[in-house]
Amino acid sequence: MTSDAVRIGVAGLGRAFMLMLPTFRNDPRIKLVAAAAPRAASRAAFEAEFGGRTYATVEELAKDADVDLIYIATPHQMHAEHVDAAARGGKHILVDKPLAVSMGDADHMVAAAEAAGVHLIVGPSHSFDPPVSLARTLIESGEFGAVRMVQALNYTDFLYRPRRPEELRTEEGGGVLFSQGIHQIDIVRLLCGGRARSVTAQTGAWDPDRPTEGAYCALMDFQSGAFASLTYSGYAHFDSDCWMNDVGELGGPKSPEGYGQARKALRDLDPGAEAQLKSTRTYGAGREPLAPKHNEHFGPILVSCDRADLRLTPDGVEIFADTKRSFRKAPLDPAPRKPVIDAVVAAVCESISPAQTGRWGRASLEVCHAILQSAERRKTILLTRQCGTTPKEIHS
Ligand SMILES: NC(=O)c1ccc[n+]([C@@H]2O[C@H](COP(=O)([O-])OP(=O)(O)OC[C@H]3O[C@@H](n4cnc5c(N)ncnc54)[C@H](O)[C@@H]3O)[C@@H](O)[C@H]2O)c1
């Protein structure tokens, strides 16, 4: 790194990049200097806003000598190829979740980054949310004893947001497991010490017009002795944000008038028109995310420790201890995903890894596959690729 700010090149200027924009615009420790995108309109919008260099391919971006780190925000199934290119170019890497779709690709990516001596961070993911970090700090303080049980639940409209056809095919990374389950798995692993032992699960694919998993229930157990129940439904009926103080996933208010909008917007659209609708949510299409008043979240999460239950909220952690109920506030920054940038800066400038490394992302991906396998085979699946939460444990 040669300048003060970490110089970031972005691969993929779609929805994920849009969600990072408020953070990129508000954190002076980073500078967007280049981007790769196949669409000329996205490249032009990037040049107009950031004045940087743009390329049609990630391979060209990876050769840009003035880039310290590449943020890979391309579709899941391209992550392996793009991580490989970035590692070959000697760039540090922030790859959006999930690390990959197949475990083979995940192995390849971890090996490529380690061979090149570059940091590979998997994020953003909701495991970076400040209330999750606060809960982790409270747990590690030992004040409330060991974590015994976690309940994580989320009911959303995920399956009815506009999709490209492959996003509705499980084998290509479609469905709720790879895009949504991975957030919940990351959070639960972080709160339970990282090393899961087994998974027993059921999945649901109930809509023949969107023939991929839209729901699951999973029971995980951990080396620490803790166990966790994970439930997700993306079928756009109940909305568990009403149990999160009516705050949506991105920290904004949830209005009752929005109920049912996801399904209504898709009514009578063919797959081409649906993919077109998705592209209206992309960078340069004019729809910007609003500055949030609360932290992002991933649905209700309750952590039972020996001497307290901890309820994660969009604003912090509510503590139900033996004789006292109290609240600890989590920080809210104008750069909503500041913890992701903290991890980037620590990695690039001080060579300190966060928990969410490539090996960590591979371990969470293993849980996604275990949920699918457990449901299909009606068996408990033993896990073999897990790691702990600290850099030392991640590599042991
Ligand atoms: N962490 C989060 O909150 C979050 C939210 C949304 C998506 N994501 C993740 O981000 C990734 C992208 O999802 P999305 O919803 O933004 O998809 P998207 O389709 O909106 O965006 C992907 C972008 O990649 C571009 N692209 C395709 N091929 C490319 C190539 N060869 N080189 C460079 N760019 C290329 C596309 O033009 C598109 O703009 C997925 O892995 C998804 O899981 C994360």
391 within a domain of the structure (yes/no): no
Query: Whose Cα sits closest to atom 31 in ligand 1?
Result: 57
- pLDDT tens track, the chain, 396 positions: 545 899 999 999 999 999 999 999 999 999 999 999 999 999 999 999 999 999 999 999 999 999 999 999 999 999 999 999 999 999 999 999 999 999 999 999 999 999 999 999 999 999 999 999 999 999 999 999 999 999 999 999 999 998 888 889 999 999 999 999 999 999 999 999 999 999 999 999 999 999 999 999 999 999 999 999 999 999 999 999 999 999 999 999 998 888 999 999 888 788 888 888 877 777 776 666 677 899 999 999 999 999 999 999 999 999 999 999 999 999 999 899 999 999 999 999 999 999 999 999 999 999 999 999 999 999 999 999 999 998 677 666
58 is in which domain, residue-wise? Answer: 6-126+337-355
12 lines ligand 1 (CB under 6 A): yes
Q: Are residues 199 and 283 in the same domain?
A: yes
76 lines ligand 1 (CB under 6 A): yes
Helix (H, G, I), strand (E, B) or coil at 71: strand
Vertex 361: Cα angle to 336 and 107 (nearest 5): 145
19 lines ligand 1 (CB under 6 A): yes
Spacing, Cα 77 to ligand 1 middle (Å)? 10
Are 340 and 348 in contact, with CB atoms under 8 Å apart?
Answer: no
Q: Which of 21, 58, 96 to mutate to test the pocket of ligand 1 (most atoms within 8 A of CB)?
A: 96
Q: Are residues 229 and 376 in the same domain?
A: yes
75 lines ligand 1 (CB under 6 A): yes
Work out which ligand 1 atom sits closest to the CA atom of 79. Answer: 41
Q: Environment class of residue 319 by beta-carbon count within 10 Å: exposed (0-12), middle (13-18) or buried (19+)?
A: buried
Residue 390 carries which side chain, given as an amino acid letter? Answer: T
For residue 45, what pLDDT is reported? 94
Identify the CATH number of the domain in which residue 30 sits: 3.40.50.720
CB atoms within 10 A of CB 141: 8
Domain count, the chain: 2
How many whole angstroms from its chain centre is CA 34?
A: 23
d(Cα 256, Cα 245) in Å, to the nearest integer? Answer: 13
The terminus-to-terminus CA distance of the chain in angstroms comes to 29
For residue 286, what pLDDT is reported? 65
Q: Are residues 56 and 198 in the same domain?
A: no
Task: List, as one string, the DSSP characters of 134-187.
Answer: HHHHHHHHTTT--EEEEEEEEE--GGGS---GGGG-GGGT-SHIIIIIHHHHHH
Spacing, Cα 135 to ligand 1 middle (Å)? 30
Helix (H, G, I), strand (E, B) or coil at 98: coil
In the chain, DSSP finds a helix count (H) and a strand count (E) of: 13, 15
Q: Are residues 109 and 187 in the same domain?
A: no
Spacing, Cα 13 to ligand 1 middle (Å)? 7
396 within a domain of the structure (yes/no): no
Q: Are residues 18 and 96 in the same domain?
A: yes
242 within a domain of the structure (yes/no): yes
179 lines ligand 1 (CB under 6 A): yes
Could you tell me which of 201, 249, 192, 233 has the C-alpha nearest to residue 15? 249
d(Cα 268, Cα 14) in Å, to the nearest integer? Answer: 24
For residue 269, what pLDDT is reported? 83
Alpha helices, DSSP H only, in the chain?
Answer: 15-26, 40-50, 58-62, 79-88, 103-116, 130-141, 176, 182-191, 261-266, 271-279, 338-350, 358-377, 391-395
Helix (H, G, I), strand (E, B) or coil at 53: strand
Spacing, Cα 328 to ligand 1 middle (Å)? 35
- Residue 275's φ and ψ, nearest 5 degrees, are -65, -35
Spacing, Cα 140 to ligand 1 middle (Å)? 35
Work out which ligand 1 atom sits closest to the CA atom of 183. Answer: 1
Spacing, Cα 76 to ligand 1 middle (Å)? 7
Work out which ligand 1 atom sits closest to the CA atom of 123. Answer: 1
Q: Are residues 32 and 100 in the same domain?
A: yes
Q: Are residues 10 and 152 in the same domain?
A: no
Spacing, Cα 41 to ligand 1 middle (Å)? 16
Work out whether the CA dihedral 170, 212, 250, 371 comes out positive or negative: negative
Which DSSP letter does residue 330 get? P
For residue 354, what pLDDT is reported? 96
Query: Whose Cα sits closest to atom 44 in ligand 1?
Result: 16
